[in-house]
Chain A
Amino acid sequence: MNTAELKKKANWLRRQILQIVVRSKRGHIGGAFSCTEILVALYYGGILRFDSDNPNWSDRDRFILSKGHSCVALFPILADLGFFPSSVLDSYSQNGCILGGHPDRNVPGIEADTGSLGHGLGIAAGLALAAKIDGRKYMTVALLGDGECYEGSVWESAMFAAHHRLNNLVAVIDRNRQCVTDFTEDCNRLEPLADKWSAFGWEPRTVDGHSFDEMIDAFHGFRSRVSAGPLVIIANTIKGKGVSFMERSIKWHHGVPQGDQLEEANRQLQCD
């Protein structure tokens, strides 16, 4: 897809997220909107290799949504790409549906149960190390929240990955500068975040996480990097991006717009 098509897809995805959240009366909408372009770039921008007809294809790239609370942004993509029928989205979070509030491996296209923050990078490092041991060429990409980087296990995994020279591993940080109840720089400063990753032996790249050109450029040549270390892409984003009253608002970490708010959100997301 070209940039214009990707933008259109991102707008479609936000509308899907809104619909699902409103219909099911639940969902982490703010964090889903912040990583919308990241997910669209990964799945439609020619970055990840996958086969929706054969979700367990052994050479597929492994994608771990470590910030599992944002699965409401990933499920419509997986449905759209044919991992499961789009009709399944209609029963999101209902009894008997495979789609719940967090990703789990019952869902075709999902590699790991996530949502308990701080665990995805360790799993991703394990998958990347397994690829090295098995001589396989697949890449492993993990998407983490920036608030998630408060967990010590993230940095334990970061050290492990660097030590084992896992240059087939990429961590993308959704740097929306908010955690569940606060702004990260008020709660506990994360900056200088890129320097921290660099000091842990990772190659950091910082991009605008809502710019497809920058995101795709950051992944350029990621399969054949000469660097021995893993790659981290710090994607600067806005929590609640796309709906003005949700943007950078603490209370929209988790929430369901109703009445005038819903009307306004729909209005803002209509234009392609």
Chain B
Amino acid sequence: MTTARKISYCQAINEAISQEMERDPCVFIYGIGVPDHKRIFGSTAGLVEKFGLQRCFDTPLSEDAMTGFGLGAAINGLRPIHVHARVDFLMLCMNQLANMISSCRYSSGGKLSVPIVIRAIIGRGWGQTFQHSKTVHSVFAHIPGLKVVMPTTPADAKGLLISAIRDNDPVVFIEHRWLYYAVEEVDEQPYDVPLGKARVLRKGDDVTVVGVSWMNVEALRAADILQSRHNISVEVIDPRTISPLDGEMITKSVEKTGHCIVADNDWLHCGFSAELSATISESCFGKLKSPVKRIGFAFAPCPSARHLEDGFYPNAADIIRAVEAKLGLEPADLTDEDFYSYERKFKGPF
């Protein structure tokens, strides 16, 4: 029997780790700040008390070496979870990640597998500017051998993280800090959500919006407004896994609507949105009623000043304007609409 109760995205992640550590003594978690007083924004709360310092420990500021340590542990039968409080710090692990871990199964002729999960937190509105505000999921998704997961909802966060931990290959698991506040019903029992499967977050017939991570929250908000202002029904699809990508579900939706917007949580140039746009152009050519539109970060380092930062990130209003432009609609007056901001944080539910 399953019991669902309302918990946050952060609690869902915490529960997934705790349940997997309980189930499998080979699972352990480590990284800078994992057992400290803040516990990675609360996502590793209670783990050191429950499982001890041997399975939940802090590491020095030696990112690449610590990733190599994870590789060694993983090829010897353990299941490490390495945590980075900012994805930017994962850039320091690229040698181990891109040159060693990703290709280990291939280079060993299939003799070795690397069941490691690398959790990396992304975010926005911290005023932490260009060195603490990246997403760069396409950098990891570009590399064969790495799986890249970006859950949007609390229920998906739990199920996908459990799948990632049980997976025998390396998984980069990217969590948006703003989603940590989202609350919804999540099963208490452990369950898995398969990697590589997209999800329809909202059914619609007129336009397909493929959102990545936080941008799904913006897409759902845009869909509500477009429904009430223009009577336009938007289908919102969350790929959930960037690599491998569920092209089939996205193609099916775009074939139905004929219009597609990719709302990425990253820069556009050479990014996931470009990849998806190319995929759709190949698979839906002839059925597209308009070119695929991409929405993403301004192609610049993230500024720290709030008003500049607000201009850097796209939001629901950008999606609404893109849909209106696609369908030849008069722009609606959005003056009275509430949009999410650093001050007005999203709390859910989905």
Contact = CB atoms under 8 A, between A and B. Distances in A.
Given A95-B307, A181-B33, A250-B36, A150 B60 contact: yes
Interface in B28-81: 32-33, 36-38, 58-62, 64-65
B304 interface: yes
Interface stretch (A32-40, A112-120, A131-139): A112-120
A181 B36 contact: yes
A187 B33 CA distance: 10
B207 to A, nearest CB: 37
B62 A100 contact: no
B334 interface: no
Interface string A178-197: 01111000111000000000
A203 interface: no
B61 A117 contact: yes
A151 interface: yes
Interface string B193-231: 000000000000000000000000000000000000000
A188 B33 CA distance: 13
A182 B62 CA distance: 14
B131 A150 contact: no
Nearest to B308: A95
Contacts of B36: 181-182, 250
B62 A251 contact: no
Interface string A144-187: 00011011100000000000000000000000000111100011
A188 B131 contact: no
B61 A147 contact: yes
B58 A187 contact: yes
B37 A179 contact: no
A180 B84 CA distance: 13
Majority secondary structure of chain A interface residues (helix, strand, loop or mixed): loop
Contacts, number: 44
B139 interface: no
Contact of A118 (B33, B58, B59, B61): B61
Given A181-B32, A250-B36, A251-B37, A95 B61 contact: no
Interface residues of A, number: 21
A100 B131 CA distance: 13
A250 B33 CA distance: 11
B161 to A, nearest CB: 22
Contacts of A182: 36, 58
A187 B60 contact: yes
B32 A152 contact: no
B37 A188 contact: no
Contacts of B278: none
Interface string A74-95: 0000000000000000000001
A187 B59 contact: yes
Contacts of B327: none
Contacts of B58: 181-182, 186-187
A107 to B, nearest CB: 15
A137 B76 CA distance: 54
Contacts of A117: 61
Nearest to A147: B61
Nearest to A186: B58
Given A116-B131, A147-B60, A250-B37, A152 B65 contact: yes
Given A150-B60, A181-B38, 18 more contacts: A100-B129, A115-B131, A116-B131, A148-B61, A150-B61, A151-B61, A179-B61, A180-B33, A181-B32, A181-B33, A181-B36, A181-B37, A187-B58, A188-B60, A188-B62, A250-B36, A250-B37, A251-B37
22 contacts: A95-B305, A95-B307, A96-B305, A116-B131, A117-B61, A118-B61, A148-B61, A150-B62, A152-B62, A152-B64, A179-B61, A180-B61, A181-B36, A181-B37, A181-B38, A181-B58, A187-B58, A188-B60, A188-B62, A250-B36, A250-B37, A251-B37
Interface of B: 32-33, 36-38, 58-62, 64-65, 129, 131, 304-307
- The 6 A-B pairs of least Cβ separation, nearest first, read A150-B60, A181-B36, A188-B60, A150-B61, A181-B33, A150-B62
